[in-house]
Structure 1
């Protein structure tokens, strides 16, 4: 029976790299959640879709509970859920803490924490009654959760710290069902998310200062995600892995 993987934020950055890593396996279907760029979503689906490993893109703002429901309804139509990768996230422009408005806090937390939690909830509902041995959830956090992102986006950092705590608590709660839950803290990764923060070249500026001497790539993170979803990580749950070049 076909195994289905849902990837939120699945058509750009880390999410798209994860999709490319997981696609093409016979009997594995992908549902890619995306927001906004229809052309990019359609292009990625055209690149990855195969008759025996279907890929579908679903417009979804995870900050909208109705959108989350539609995303998982699309997964249900494809087959039983085996995995969820929560890669969707928002990052606002760099600013001092006192400039962060209540509206901005609400936007960031609605997507990065509440939306992620709702996706986890939908996944657990579907996975709990399954006897599949490969059920896993991987949440994309950030090294900012530990570093705090002072003077840039403390709200984003705080939201990712919440993701780490949610990952630990949920993992311990659902372990008895055989569901594994982990998260990854990427460091300075060269994706377009930095443009959302107002500094498109941030990864190039900071990359040489990292212990490994470079910024990471989306593919660096995708490799870790693929491992956490695989049978090789069958005894790994409730933990967060840094993919941060030693940062």
Structure 2
């Protein structure tokens, strides 16, 4: 199913890889970003180089007004058929007894509330109950959801565990309305998110502990996202697909 796809946090990493791969598969793509306008522009340029239309929209998915602006940009391109809830943050390693309420509020607002808000707007456009023609939603979970990230960022892990439950619940709510909702659960992937959490060398430090003795790539996660949105996954709904190399 082609049409218009929104990829939140699409300026780099997994989001950028997903945006480009979806463009290869026939989607016009709205790339949401929060701060790095240059990176978002480069992603849009890659989308357009593939003969598809692209748009970059700055916005914080934890802000309702920003989410509405993101979806308005998608409406301008055509019929929304895909949402990739990829935007998310980590923070510096801390124990729970060190965490501030400000940190916790930011973590859950962006990682969890943001996905709810974006999914809400997507359902309004895709659901046959609202006059839509169906579509697909893929949420980004994390292996941390089951591994807990104890001593580093249990708040991040908890937000991603929330994504797992949210995925299953939403999938059941809209299954009869033409919408499939699934998630991917990446493991150690070579992206910039580790540096943003204060652990720029985390991938190298973890490599020997991984079953496959290597990290994953953003493209490998994007392939899983694209498959879940494709007709090849037409009977896959409410699933969380591990992309963890066996970890």
TM-score interval (norm. to shorter) = over 0.9
Aligned to 2:241: 241
Partner of 1:46: 45
Displacement after TM superposition at 1:164 (Å): 0.3
Q: Note the alpha carbon deviations across 1:114-142, whole angstroms, 9 max, x for none.
A: 01100000000000135646x11000000
Distance 1:2 1:185, change over 3 A: closer
Residue equivalent to 2:224: 224
Q: Structure 1 residues 235, 114: CA separation in 2 closer, same or farther (over 3 Å shift)?
A: same
Q: For the structure 1 residues 91 and 62, does the alpha-carbon distance in structure 2 shift closer, same or farther, using more than 3 Å as the test?
A: same
Q: Distance in 2 between matches of 1:235 and 1:9?
A: 27
Residue 50 of structure 1 and its aligned partner are, at CA, apart by: 4.8
Do residues 100 (structure 1) and 111 (structure 2) align? Answer: no
For 1:171 and 1:147, the matched residues in 2 are separated by 24
Q: 1:51–1:185: structure 2 CA closer, same or farther, 3 Å change rule?
A: closer
Q: Which residue of 2 aligns with 1:208?
A: 208
Find the aligned partners of 1:166 and 1:243 in 2 and give their Cα distance: 19
Is the partner of 1:105 in helix, strand or coil?
Answer: helix
How many angstroms apart in 1 are the aligned matches of 2:90 and 2:185? 15
Aligned to 1:200, what secondary structure does the other structure show? coil
* Residue number in structure 2 paired with 1:60: 59
> Bigger shift: 16-25 or 154-163?
16-25
Q: CA offsets per residue over residues 7-58 of structure 1, 9 Å max, x none?
A: 00011110001011111445x2100100101111112212221585101111
Distance (Å, rounded) in 1 between the aligned partners of 2:132 and 2:74: 18
Going from structure 1 to structure 2, the CA distance change for 1:182 and 1:92 (only over 3 Å counts) comes to same
TM-score by length of 2: 0.95
Does the Cα contact within 8 Å between 1:24 and 1:50 map onto a contact in 2?
A: no
Q: Deviations over 1:54-104 (max 9, x none)?
A: 011110110111000000000001001100001000101111111111111
> How do residues 10-29 of structure 1 correspond to structure 2 at under 5 angstroms?
10-26=10-26, 28-29=27-28
- Report SS of the residue matched to 2:31: strand
* Structure 1 Cα separation of the partners of residues 204 and 181 of structure 2: 32
Q: Say how many residue pairs are matched.
A: 245
Alpha-carbon RMSD: 1.5
Q: Secondary structure at the match of 2:185?
A: strand
Alignment of 1:108-119 (within 5 A): 108-119=107-118
Q: Summarize the alignment of residues 126-137 of structure 1 with structure 2, pairs less than 5 Å apart.
A: 126-129=125-128, 132=133, 135-137=135-137
